[in-house]
Amino acid sequence: MVIRATSLFVTALLLGAAALPSSPDLGKKEGQCRRDEQGPSLLVDVEGLKDRQGSLKLEVYPANDEDFLADDNVLLNAGKVFRRVEVPVPQTGSVRLCIRVPGPGAYAVSLLHDRDGNRKFGWTVDGIGFSGNPKLGWSKPKAARVAVTTGAGPTLLSILMNYRSGLGVAPLKRKG
């Protein structure tokens, strides 16, 4: 009887945590790079933007399938890695984002081009990219395919954006 009551209590806690609303500010303080960042971080060059509208949302997750793209509240409440940087798309020039990580190690990285400003991925409107630039199908990529290993200082990374193409998503085809 005690085991069942404990099990029900733990289940209720987990369901309650899953029901917490996501906050767009979670992970931002921890992810913000300092000027001329020298600590463990990712310097992400964004390639293949469709246009210069909306914002870019870069997020770092643990490099395992269970936690990759999991709810930010759940990750942070469990003491797991989650970092976020969100910026307006620069109107001109190359785009490089910096995001701090807790230390050297393996991480999974996603990048959203939120063209409509609703703070979530809409496959018909927005762009998406991942570290490792995997070919995308109908489900999220495996964490092992997008894992990137960082060192004690900044690690350079390039992410190629993918947008709706027919019934799927793919990098834009450039004319010429």
Model confidence pLDDT, tens digit, residues 100-151: 999 999 999 999 999 999 988 898 999 999 999 999 988 899 999 999 999 9
Determine the pLDDT at residue 22: 59
Three-class secondary structure assignment of 120-134: CCCCCCCEEEECCCC
Query: pTM to 2 decimals?
Result: 0.84
Q: Is 52 helix (H, G, I), strand (E, B) or coil?
A: coil
Model confidence pLDDT, tens digit, residues 52-107: 999 999 999 999 999 999 999 999 999 999 999 999 999 999 999 999 999 999 99
Q: Which candidate, 92, 94, 93, 97, places its Cα nearest to that of 112? A: 97
Q: Cα(45)–Cα(21) distance, rounded to whole angstroms?
A: 30
Q: Cα(117)–Cα(101) distance, rounded to whole angstroms?
A: 25
Determine the pLDDT at residue 28: 83
